[in-house]
Each structure stands twice: as structure tokens, then as C-alpha cells.
Amino acid sequence: MPYDLKEVAAISGMPGLYRLLKPTRAGVIIEALDEKGTRSVASARNKVSLLHEISIYTQDYDQTVPLSEVFDRIHQKHGAELSLTHKSDDRDLTAFMADIMPDYDRDRVYLSDIKKLVQWYNTVSKRLEYQAPAEEETTTEDGAATAEEALSTAGIIPAAEETNAAGSPEAVTEAKPAKKTTKKKAE
């Protein structure tokens, strides 16, 4: 995930974006993602929309594109500094959206959504660090995996003692040595 959006939220009735810090009895402690970084409490009555749960509609009715992927596309084409703002010309905003996501649903994604997307991207790119996406596993012509990951040993290499915990479905039972029994001679 290029931008970590798990703790970033838009809150109804409050302008801008906020980082969720800690839950309280009455709501959640938030920090504004602006120059001041003021902290306050968002009431439980406010609707909190986490950015990592938001997606953009595509022309395929059953599919959406996560906001983090849209932000990644914007970063790949325009970098952290976006020349557009939410106050830019409507034609420029729709052309920008068509450039970033050619298959976005023009009936369900409104101009106000595009303005919000641009405004959120500008805020996030200024306040959060961009992390390059992790490389995905690729295969060579012979079908061998080239990504570095743990491969199954299929029981050829014995498991470490830590994984042999009681109750583990993968626990390997080792043969216990037979107890030595001594018989007392009857006198």
C-alpha cells in the first residue's frame, strides 16, 4: 500500500482529513492532517469514514477500485505535487479523472467526488510518506517462484520445537522413549 490510509478518516460535519489516534468512551481522539495538527475528540454521533475502506466505482457494475490504488496511480503519473486543486475547472477535473481511471463510472462518480478525491490526495501526499508498493511474486518460465518467501518443506525438514506446541494441528509427535520398569523380586 503506497499510502497507509488505515488510520486516516473523513469525519462528517468536520472539514479535512484526520488521523485516528485512540478510542475514548465518547468517541475517538483525532489529529487534523493540516499544518497545525490540532487534536480533538470526534463524537460517537459523527460518521467516521476510513479512507482505506473507500473505493471508486468502475464501469463494471460489480467492481470498484480502492482509494489507495487510485492514490498510487495519481502518484505514479503526477508525483506528490498535484497541479490540480478541488477548485480547478470542472473540465480539467473530469479529464484528470479519465486519465487516472479511464474505466471509472461516469454516472455514479460525481464531480463532487472527483473534487474530494483531489483535495484528499493533496492533503495525504503532503502529510503522509509514500511507500513504494511491494513487488509481487513472479514466476520464471519453468514455473519456479522468484520472490523470496517461505516455501513448504512438506515434512522433509522437521519442524522447530516452537511449532510442536500442544493443541497445534501441525504439531509433530515425537516418539517418547520407553520407560524403564524395574521389577522387584519377590522375597
Domain count, the chain: 2
Which pLDDT tens digit goes with each residue over 24-46?
888 899 999 888 888 989 888 88
What is the rounded CA–CA span in Å between residue 169 and residue 53? Answer: 34
Q: Which residue has the higher pLDDT, 6 or 135?
A: 6
Q: What are phi and psi of 105, to 5 degrees?
A: -80, 110
Decide if 151 is inside a domain. Answer: no
Decide if 21 is inside a domain. Answer: yes
**Over residues 131-149, mean pLDDT:** 53
Asked whether residue 97 falls in the same domain as residue 63, the answer is yes
Domain extent, residue 38, equals 8-50
Task: List, in order, residues 6 or more apart from 109 with CB less than 8 Å away.
Answer: 56, 57, 97
Q: Is the pLDDT of residue 99 over 70?
A: yes
Q: Which residue has the cell 482509494?
A: 67
For 94, counting Cβ atoms within 10 Å of its Cβ (0-12 exposed, 13-18 middle, 19+ buried), the class is middle
